[in-house]
Amino acid sequence: MTELGTPGPTVALVHDYLTQRGGAERVVLSMLKAFPGAPLHTSLYDAQGTYPEFRTATIRTSPLDRSSLLRTHHRLALPFLAPAFGRQRIEADVVICSSSGWAHGVGVGAGARKVVYCYSPARWLYDGRRYLGPARAAMARIAVAASPPLVRWDRKAAATADRYLTLSTAVRERIRDVYGIEAEILHPPPILDPTGPSHAPTDVEPGFFLCVSRLLPYKNVDAILAAFADLTSERLVVVGSGPERERLAAVAGPNVRFLGRVADEELRWLYRECVAVVAASYEDYGLTPLEGAVFGRPAVVLRAGGFLETVREGATGVFFDEPDPRRLVPALRTALTTEWSRSDLQDQAERFSEDRFVRRLREIVAEEARGGPGGAR
């Protein structure tokens, strides 16, 4: 727990699992900056699979973490996550749950306040077929069969929160539809420091388009690969891992390079030396265009979801209307022929700064410790 002032509320953090590198895990790192020393509760922790900054945190794991198989293949833990979180009871004045499906199910002590930062109601539970994709149809059928009791658990868990936060208008609407809860938007920050150390990955030359994405069906990376099959004069570098890696690599052209997971030093170099960031997914938020903007690089993105909030058309990026190479190729060419203002790009990133995120989250915790907005215990 951590103290906010003297005296002040104690805070504990909860996150679904710490086994990968992604936008949600970066948000948790920002939460730890807001509340240094706060314990971080999670189901599974793979130090090699996630960001090294977590190694200095006080991490408390569930009994599931005793299984090395589940730590390295967290999707196998899906049937066990609801009871794992449901059995936990966390003692703190304010408990912040960083959740896309599980962490919001923890119990809290008497008189404690629970704040949920929701990235999305569980995609596999409410949008399983698109999330898992046709290649994993059997898993989708299992998810659908298991969903009624888990939907009941999930909605009951959501109702235990004293306050709901989320990252974008698109997710706020989804939370309203699924849970009947009105959530406050608190945009997460891009936190990749452009002044930090950087170095080039092996055999990558400057002047490429950059796709930073988990390799999952709903990310539509295959549409980007198809566009570069037509745009053979340009190169694409793909950063990220996931179950689609083998299939995507098999259909990629010779102008595409898959790097898998990379360290932040390499990611800084990639953002700095790319032509533009490209993404074709229906994102809840759209963090990678902001990370590119920090380095003065524009984005080519799908006109949907969170990208509508993080990209300013014509000033910080180019939109295309469908995840279809026929729409993507003209947008990529527009990005190549446009003169982009570095100051416009960096100003856009500054609107979503980590300082702003940390300040507002501390205000919310102080409000909840008093019994909620305008309240007093």
Domain CATH code at residue 141: 3.40.50.2000
Evaluate whether residue 249 is within a structural domain: yes
3-state secondary structure 145-159: HHHHHHHHHHHHHHH
Both 345 and 365 in one domain: the answer is: no
Residue 156 scores a pLDDT above 50? yes
Residue 245 within any structural domain of the chain: yes
Of the CA atoms within 13 Å of residue 41, those in its CB half-sphere come to 27
Do the domain assignments include residue 302?
yes
pLDDT digits (tens, 9 = 90+) for 49-65: 999 999 999 999 999 99
pLDDT for residue 377 is more than 70: no
Residues 235 and 319 in one domain: yes
Q: How far apart are CA 335 and CA 330, in angstroms?
A: 9
Distance, in Å, from the CA atom of 277 to the CA atom of 298, rounded to the nearest integer, reads 6
pLDDT tens digits, 239-292: 999 999 999 999 999 999 999 999 999 999 999 999 999 999 988 888 999 999
pTM: 0.82
- Has residue 197 been placed in a domain? no
Same domain, 185 and 223: no
Q: What is the pLDDT of residues 328-368, one digit of tens each?
A: 999 999 999 999 999 999 999 999 999 999 999 999 999 99
Does residue 287 share a domain with residue 248?
yes
In sequence order, what DSSP letters do the residues of 118-181 get, joined into one string? Answer: ES-S-HHHHSHHHHH-GGGHHHHHHHHHHHHHHHHHHHHHHHT-SEEEES-HHHHHHHHHHH--
Instruction: Give a yes or no: residue 374 inside a domain.
Output: no
95 and 234 part of one domain: no
Q: Do both 346 and 359 map to the same domain?
A: no
Structural domain harbouring 128:
2-189+353-369
Identify whether residues 49 and 169 lie together within a single domain: yes
Query: What pLDDT is recorded for position 273?
Result: 98
The domain tally of the chain equals 2
